Amino acid sequence: MDTPKYEVLELVKRIYNVDQLLFGKDYVREMVRSLATTLGVKYVLVGHAVEPDKTSIQTDFIWADGKFASNLIYDLKGTPCVNVICGTRVNCYAEKVADQFPDDHMLKDMGAEAYVGAPFLTPDGSLVGLLVIMDDKPLKDRELYTFVVEFFAARIGTEYYRQIFEDSLQKQVDIRTQELRSAFDDLQKTQKQLLSQEKLATIGRITFGIAHELKNPLNVIINAAEIIEELMSEQKLSGPMRTAAESIREHGYRANNIITSMLKQARQEPAAAPEYVNLSEMMDRSLELCSRSILDPDFKSKLKVHKNIEPDVNYLIVDAPSVERGFINLIDNAIYALREKHKDNEGFVPNLWIELKARIPYVHISMRDNGTGISPSNLIRIFDEFYTTKPPGEGTGLGLSIAKQVLGTNNGEINIQSTEGEMTEVTVNFPLLEQKQNQENRIWSSPDPSL
Amino acid sequence: MVVTRPLVVIMVDDEVSVGFLSRMKFRQAIEDGSIELHFFEGARDCLKYLHAMKEHHGDMILFTDINMPSISGFDLLTQVKSQYPLIPVYMMSAYDDSASVDKSKHLGAKGYFTKPVNFGDIKKLLNVDFGVEF
Output the pLDDT for position A442: 36
pLDDT exceeding 90 applies to what percent of chain A? 35
Determine the number of helices (DSSP H) and then strands (DSSP E) in chain A.
12, 14
Question: Which residue on chain A is closest to B116 by alpha carbon?
Answer: A219
| Helix spans in B2-118 (H) | 16-25, 27-32, 43-52, 73-83, 98-107
Give the closest of A215, A220, A267 to B17, CB-based: A220
What lies within 8 Å, CB to CB, of B45 at 6+ separation is none
Give residues 93 to 122 of B whose Cβ lies within 8 Å of A. 94-98, 101, 110-119, 121
Number of alpha helices (DSSP H) and beta strands (DSSP E) in chain B:
6, 5
ipTM of this predicted structure:
0.90
Say how far apart CA A4 and CA A143 lie, in whole Å: 12
According to DSSP, residue A14 is labeled H
Mean per-residue pLDDT over chain A, rounded: 84
Interface contact A450, partner B, CB < 8 A = no
What is the reported pLDDT for A264?
Answer: 66
Distance from CA of A216 to the nearest CA of B (A): 6
State phi, psi for A397 to the nearest 5 degrees.
80, 15
Please determine, for residue A285, whether its predicted confidence score (pLDDT) is greater than 60.
yes
Is B21 in the A-facing interface, judged by CB distances under 8 Å?
Answer: yes
Q: Peptide bond before A361: cis, by omega within 30 degrees of 0? A: yes
pLDDT, position A125: 77
- Provide the 10 A C-beta neighbour count for residue A172: 10
- Asked if A337 contacts A345 with a C-beta cutoff of 8 angstroms, the reply is no
Query: What pLDDT score was predicted for residue A25?
Result: 87
Buried b (16+ CB within 10 A) or exposed e, B54-68: eeeeebbbbbbbbbb
Looking at chain B from residue 1 to 20, which residues have their Cβ under 8 Å from any Cβ of chain A? 15, 17-18, 20
Please state, in angstroms and rounded to a whole number, the distance separating the CA atoms of residues A156 and A148.
12
pLDDT in tens, A72-109: 888 888 888 877 766 667 788 888 888 888 888 888 88
Residue whose C-alpha is closest to residue A322's, from A265, A383, A280: A265
Per CB-CB distance under 8 Å, the chain A contacts of B25 are 223, 227
| Reported confidence tier of residue A7, pLDDT bands at 50, 70, 90 | confident
SS3 B78: helix
B116–A223: do the CB atoms touch at under 8 Å?
yes
Q: Look at residues A162, A151, A134, A4 and name the one whose alpha carbon lies nearest to residue A69.
A: A134
The per-residue pLDDT for B48 is 95
Cα dist from B84 to A194, B51, B78, B88, B89, whole Å = 51, 9, 10, 9, 10
* Rounded-to-5 percentages of helix, strand, coil across chain A: 50, 20, 30
Whether residue A450 has pLDDT greater than 80: no
| Pairing status of strand A274-278 against strand A304-309 | unpaired
pLDDT digits (tens, 9 = 90+) for A46-75: 999 888 888 888 999 999 999 999 998 888
> Is the CB of residue B24 less than 8 Å away from at least one CB of chain A?
yes
User: The sheet that has A362-369: what strands, in order across it?
Assistant: A304-309, A351-359, A362-369, A423-431, A413-419
Among the listed residues B51, B123, B124, the one whose alpha carbon sits nearest the alpha carbon of residue B87 = B51
Interface contact flag, A442 B111, Cβ < 8 Å:
yes
Cα(A15)–Cα(A150) distance, rounded to whole angstroms? 13
**What does the pLDDT look like over A130-140, one tens digit per residue?**
999 999 988 88
Q: Is the pLDDT of residue A444 over 50?
A: no
Cis peptide bond N-terminal to A321, omega within 30: no
Given the DSSP bridges, would you call strands A43-49 and A56-64 parallel, antiparallel or unpaired? antiparallel
Is the pLDDT reported for residue A270 higher than 60?
A: no
Please give the Cα distance from A245 to A249 (Å, whole number): 6
B94, B112, B117 ranked by CB distance to A443: nearest? B112
Interface test with A, best of B114, B119, B125 (most A CBs within 10 A): B114
Confidence of residue A416 (pLDDT cuts 50, 70, 90): very high
Number of Cβ within 10 Å of residue A169's Cβ equals 10
The per-residue DSSP string of A195-260 comes to: HHHHHHHHHHHHHHHHHHHHHHHHHHHHHHHHHHHHHHHHTT--SHHHHHHHHHHHHHHHHHHHHH
Distance CA A28, CA A59 (A): 12
For chain B, which residues score pLDDT lower than 50? Answer: 1
Distance CA A362, CA A327 (A): 17
**Cα(B126)–Cα(B131) distance, rounded to whole angstroms?**
7
Residue of A nearest to B119 (CA): A223
Q: In angstroms, rounded to a whole number, what is the distance separating the alpha carbons of residues A354 and A426?
A: 10
C-alpha dist (Å) from residue B98 to A204, A407, B72: 17, 22, 18
DSSP three-state, residue B118: coil
Residue A215 in contact with residue B116, Cβ under 8 Å? yes
Percent of chain A's residues with pLDDT above 70: 91
Q: Which residue of B has its CA nearest to A230?
A: B25
Residue A372 confidence (pLDDT) above 70:
yes
Do residues A59 and A139 make contact, with C-beta atoms less than 8 angstroms apart?
A: no
Q: Is pLDDT at A434 greater than 50 in this prediction?
A: no
User: What residues contact A435, with CB distance under 8 A and at least 6 apart?
Assistant: A316
Query: Which residue has better confidence, A431 or A429?
Result: A429
A180 band by pLDDT with thresholds 50, 70 and 90? very high
Distance CA A55, CA A82 (A): 9
Quick one: closest CA in A to B24, which residue?
Answer: A227
Give the chain B residue nearest A450 (alpha carbons): B110
Measured over the CA atoms of residue A169, residue A175, residue A181 and residue A183, the dihedral's sign is: negative
What's phi and psi for A198, nearest 5 deg?
-60, -45
What distance, in Å, lies between the first and last C-alpha atoms of chain B? 22
Residue A38: pLDDT over 60: yes
Contact partners, residue A18, CB within 8 Å, separation at least 6: A27, A30, A31, A34
Which residues, including other chains, have CB under 8 Å from residue A357's CB and lie 6 or more apart? Answer: A308, A310, A313, A363, A364
Task: Give the closest of B20, B24, B95 to A212, CB-based.
Answer: B95
A65, A335, B6, B17, B51 from B57: Cα distances, Å: 131, 70, 10, 29, 13
Distances in whole angstroms, Cα of residue A48 to Cα of each of A80, A145, B68:
15, 21, 89
Query: Contacts of residue B128 in chain A, CB cutoff 8 Å?
Result: 446-447
The torsion angle over the Cα atoms of residues A433, A437, A438 and A440, rounded to 10 degrees, is -150
